[in-house]
Amino acid sequence: MSSGIQDLIVIGGACAAQSAAIYAVRSGMDVLVIADEYGGQINNTDVVENYLGIKSVSGPELAERYLEHMREYDVDEEVGQKAVDIRKEDGVFETELEDGSVFKSYSVVIATGGSRRKLGVEGEEQFSNKGVAYCAVCDGPLYQGREVAVVGGGYAGTEAAVYLSDIAEKVYVLSRSGKLKGEEITINEVLEAENVEVVREATVKEFYGDNLLEGVKINHKGEIRDLEVEGAFIEIGTVPNSDITNLVETNDSGYIKVDENRETSTTGLYAAGDVTNKGAQQLVVSAGQGCQAALNASEYVKSQKSE
């Protein structure tokens, strides 16, 4: 960087961002990665068995490998703060961090992923970190030999249930729709586990307890039922971290809209990974989209600099 203006800023610290950073440097761009922290969602995942070329790897190990791979390249890093705004002035992007510092670039890739969705029921906030948790891999080991519930029968919920079935005495899986969704292989593991009970057409009414969680009241097919669990894992998907700038259009669910080049509604501003994907939120997709965004950003930056 000579003019104080970076070729590309990549915002995010995980799969999509690190893939974008690698491709961007290899395309000849100088790149700054801005991340509040490294790892992303996969850092909180037990095991990954569907990433092409790697039969099985733990989530944290894969996240570490991504970071090591990125650091093989000459990438500038600004880690420890969130980016809170992206503006465009005279064709140059300005990315502002929490402490007010501003970094300039010709192009930006937003790869800020998603955060866990909350349930929004009584007791959820009160017992958060006192029994109510959002990461089975992080907090599951605390419930050795105890009874727990997993709220959500989708991709994340079924994975969490399989993981917890090796730790807890009993695992309830609360499925609102009544049908488990996710990878067939994981669903079968849930159904075959002797200590897992799938409670279909169940919605959570309330988490209760004294100081710590003592149970969850559910509406099960119209009947109120009480499950005396010490842990409850909310696994109902993610919300996109897209409220970082008003330069992008989002869809009704908050995901950033992009075209086939992964360009947002602002020229030169790209987005990749879970912040753009309602369906197929997977590493392989995020990595591919990070690549696409970086290569297209590279073409854009070259055209800007040759003007």
Ligand X SMILES: Cc1cc2nc3c(=O)[nH]c(=O)nc-3n(C[C@H](O)[C@H](O)[C@H](O)COP(=O)(O)OP(=O)(O)OC[C@H]3O[C@@H](n4cnc5c(N)ncnc54)[C@H](O)[C@@H]3O)c2cc1C
Interaction site with ligand X (CB under 6 A)? 11-17, 34-42, 45, 48, 50-51, 82-83, 111-114, 156, 159, 241, 244, 273-274, 281-284, 286
Would you say 227 or 256 has its CB closer to ligand X? 256
Would you say 60 or 209 has its CB closer to ligand X? 60
From the CB of 112, what's the least distance to ligand X, in Å? 4
Q: Which residues contact 53 (CB under 8 A, 6 or more apart)?
A: none
Q: Which of 30, 46, 76, 135 is catalytic?
A: 135
From the CB of 133, what's the least distance to ligand X, in Å? 12
Q: Which of 7, 15, 139, 291 is catalytic?
A: 139
Q: Which of 138, 166, 226, 243 is catalytic?
A: 138
Q: Which residues contact 239 (CB under 8 A, 6 or more apart)?
A: 114, 115, 116, 117, 254
Would you say 209 or 288 has its CB closer to ligand X? 288
Would you say 48 or 149 has its CB closer to ligand X? 48
Would you say 285 or 301 has its CB closer to ligand X? 285
d(CA 180, CA 114): 22
From the CB of 197, what's the least distance to ligand X, in Å? 21
Residue with the shortest CB distance to ligand X: 113
Would you say 215 or 285 has its CB closer to ligand X? 285
From the CB of 211, what's the least distance to ligand X, in Å? 28
From the CB of 141, what's the least distance to ligand X, in Å? 15
253: its two tokens = 């669910």
Neighbours of 109 (CB within 10 A): 34
d(CA 239, CA 113): 9
Whether 139 is catalytic is yes
d(CA 12, CA 2): 24
From the CB of 79, what's the least distance to ligand X, in Å? 9
Enzyme catalytic residues = 135, 138-139
